[in-house]
Amino acid sequence: MTDVQRDDVDIPTEDGVADAYLVRPADGRPHPGVLFYQDAYGLRPHLKSMADRLAAAGYTVLLPNVFYRLGRAPVVDLPEFIDPGSDPTIWERLGPMLAGLTPDLVKRDAGAYLRWLADSPLVADGPVALTGYCMGSRLALWTAGAHPDRVAAAAGFHGGGLATDDPDSPHLEAPRITAELYFGHADEDGSLPPAQIARFEEALTAAGVRHTCEVYTGAHHGYTQADTPAYHREADERHWAALLDLLKRTF
């Protein structure tokens, strides 16, 4: 496996400074950039290990703490194994944080992250790719719609609320998206019922967005997160294959 170099970096934004994890191949050369959007549990060891795996495949990966307005990561102290079923206070603490991260803030922050990647000598010239998990899938869609000139590809896995009746629903970004998309849905995910899956794909098709949407049988919301009870090894490895294939096509 390729050796990687890891750093903690600070990214100036319009509202402060976002702390982030940066990892890339240790050869000192620029590599294609990937903006990695966290799930609701935040920037933590498991997500860093996922970013490391991406970097080892040949990418410069930026994993920002999207809750930076509330403090540096970890914004909420969580156990090594995160199980809301045994500790319902986890979502009592996380809920208000998610509600406060509006689409407008996401898009504004995305501009700062993308500018940082464009200015970094560690990132190859040209647009970047996005990957997002759970709520990060929504962030990836809002970013791809708001910054089409900077995003060549975007992936989302076990995303929820992708095609709701909300006026800011992520699927409404479709007409502005020029990136190729890949989405891996969990078939046992109450936050993305079949009607939303259908609405999401219909919106992408109507807008002419290049996309692939697949439903992972037997997978629950959070299937890539090995530090939670939702983890599903087969679905996780399928996600890695799909993500790396998308990145190879893109770069």
Per-residue CA distances from 120 to 32, 48, 55, 137, 148 (Å):
11, 20, 15, 25, 19
Per the annotation, the verdict on 185 as an active-site residue is no
* Token output for 60: 């410069």
Catalytic site residue from 221, 227, 232, 236: 221
Instruction: Name which of 197, 128, 195 is nearest 158 in CA terms.
Output: 197
* Token output for 51: 């970013």
Per the annotation, the verdict on 213 as an active-site residue is no
- 221, 189 contact by CB (below 8 A): yes
Catalytic site residue from 39, 46, 52, 134: 134
Catalytic site residue from 109, 189, 227, 236: 189
Residue for token digits 């996005």? 130
Per the annotation, the verdict on 221 as an active-site residue is yes
Q: In what order do the strands lie in the sheet with 60-64?
A: 4-13, 16-25, 60-64, 33-37, 128-133, 151-157, 180-188, 211-220
Residues designated as active site: 134, 189, 221
